[in-house]
Structure 1
Amino acid sequence: MSRKVLLIVLLLSGALVALGQEEGAGRFDLLIVDETKTFSSSMRVEVFARALLRTELFALSAKIVEVESSFVDPLRGEEPDQRYDLIVIFPVGIDDGTVRQIWIVSRPFPEIGGELRGAVALVKQLADKIFRGAAEAVGVTDDLIPGYFATIFIRGGWL
């Protein structure tokens, strides 16, 4: 079984578990965008997704995408199925070390409430722990790239 197929099966099973939780669980809608191609990175993304599900704060969706560069819109050409509170991008550059960041994309902080800010902090903490040494989680207040993607995703109806 290929790595991508295995990851899809694992993420979908995690999503089904989340759907089976009682109504009201998962206060924040979070989309995971996985651009990674190595088994090691994909397994870390899986561990990250499972850790988020255990918090019961998030309703997860996931997309596995192929991009030519970490800095290209990974959702280009797709129509959003819903609006998300957060989008977490695991760039393809993590695999070869050209990008050492995980991008947590949200609306600008002045537009979001304190609970979502706390959720962003939790997502950062989990990503940093799981990707220790390989990548650091950054949000719209930390770096320009998450802000760049936030602008694109707000205009596209994803956020």
Structure 2
Amino acid sequence: MSHFEVYVDNAGKNICCPFFDRDGRLNFLSYASGELCQVDERKQIHCIANSNGHPAGAAVDADGSVFVCDQAHGAVLMVGMQESQRGDGMQDQKHQIVVRVYEDRPFKGPHSLCFDSQGTMYFTDPGPLGETGLHNPKGSVYCITGPNSGGSGG
């Protein structure tokens, strides 16, 4: 890197996981508030969704859907937006739990995720901070087979 600068200042408490959406917009998460925030072209921050938990990682699939690893929910969520019928201009979020258990055992706390070129989702489940590490290596990497991979699903 030849130039280093603060891109967005005062972005919030416990922010993490910067990622770009399908339209090239910069987004990030707030672990403390559960918010998914987006940075506009003027570097203004807008909260566009809330997981109502502790999001730790996010990624966007080829269709533009946003997926979030949420440690409070112990799940991978697909985060959506839908116009509210309240008439106040606010939006309600509709979230779908993608996966919460594996072989009847709940996840410890999904943390990070990504997609490969075939649409397969990979995510980590290390558990809460401090619970796993070199002293207690119990985390795992899971995958959910994508529609173009030819696999049987996962």
**TM-score normalised per structure 1:** 0.31
The TM-score with structure 2 as length reference comes to: 0.31
Max Rg structure:
2
Structure having the higher helix fraction is: 1
